[in-house]
Amino acid sequence: MACMDIDVPLKWSTIYQRLFDELAPSGFWEGLLSSEDFGSIDSRIDALAIHVYPGTRERSYQKLRMRAREFFIANYTHHACYHACRIYEEAGYLDYGLRRCDIDAQNELAAKFFGHSKQLTDAIMKLRQEGYASHNHNHVGLFFARSGAIVIGEGYIRGGSEYLRRLANALGDDSRRLLMVKGRPALIRCELPLADLGDSGIDYAAMLPITYKLMIRDEIRPPIFSAIEGAFMHSADIPSNQITIEYLDAVMPN
């Protein structure tokens, strides 16, 4: 099994150097990163695509994406995705893996944390009437990269699920503060077979090494500029033998 983890470049950079050399000489890559004409990551990727496959922006990008997909599938069987969360009971993850969101279980957890009250019942009913209760039901939210899970998913790490946070917001400041101290901040690394990503997910993941190479990283830019933002909703439970828990108490204390 070969698993791509985009935020661990030492494990994939040697393999992908073959693709980078095929697409353009090193001087061209360096020029994209140093030129003020290509101020965004999208503009740099577009410039690369048009250089390699001359034509319209859309057609050139499509050809680049197809080549990246071919290379990705030829070299990898799995992709490491990350779930940002707070863990309240580790045993459940070790026994059953990462399970899909269950709104009934979330309501039970809310009652355990906040206590049974008419205010909580009303808040639950309001979310149900708004359709929000089914927003993430039967899905697992995953980021394509650890950096995205930490930076973009910080709210989940500090305050738990969206659903619990919406209930806490309805109940007031004490409930919001309570969520910040319940459980432990964590990331769950999930090694997914490529087939589980779906076609669009494979296309996105296949472009990540090119995206990573063309990102500008320096001490001045905040971390968000070097985080891989992509995320998706996965519609199946992920077995315990495919997950690893990483606690973040040291970097995100309660």
The answer to whether position 5 is within a domain reads no
Give Cα separations from 114 to 86, 92, 110, 123, 162 (angstroms): 16, 21, 6, 12, 16
The predicted pLDDT at position 1 comes to 76
The answer to whether position 94 is within a domain reads yes
The predicted pLDDT at position 38 comes to 79
Q: Phi first, then psi: what are they for 88, rounded to 5°?
A: -100, -30
Q: Phi first, then psi: what are they for 6, rounded to 5°?
A: -65, -30
Distance CA 32, CA 28 (A): 6
How many other CB atoms sit within 10 Å of the CB of residue 199? 9
The bridge status of strand 140-143 relative to strand 184-193 is unpaired
The predicted pLDDT at position 58 comes to 96
The bridge status of strand 78-87 relative to strand 3-4 is parallel
The answer to whether position 199 is within a domain reads no
Give Cα separations from 52 to 49, 62, 70 (angstroms): 5, 12, 16
Number of domains in the chain: 1
The predicted pLDDT at position 226 comes to 66
The answer to whether position 71 is within a domain reads no
Give Cα separations from 149 to 2, 41, 75, 174 (angstroms): 22, 19, 24, 26
The predicted pLDDT at position 235 comes to 93
The predicted pLDDT at position 229 comes to 87
Q: How many helices (H) and strands (E) does the chain have?
A: 12, 6
**DSSP character for 235?**
-
The predicted pLDDT at position 35 comes to 84
The answer to whether position 61 is within a domain reads no
The closest of 228, 184, 252, 209 to 81, measured between CA atoms, is: 228
Could you list the residue range(s) of the whole structural domain that residue 106 is in? 82-190+223-247
The predicted pLDDT at position 52 comes to 97
The predicted pLDDT at position 219 comes to 61
The predicted pLDDT at position 251 comes to 79
The answer to whether position 74 is within a domain reads no
The answer to whether position 50 is within a domain reads no
Q: Is the pTM of this model over 0.85?
A: yes
Ranges of residues in the chain with a pLDDT under 70 are 218-226, 254
The closest of 248, 189, 136 to 6, measured between CA atoms, is: 189
For the chain, how many residues are written? Answer: 254
User: pLDDT for 18-42, tens place per residue?
Assistant: 999 999 999 999 999 988 887 888 9
Question: How far out from the chain centre does Cα 51 lie?
Answer: 30
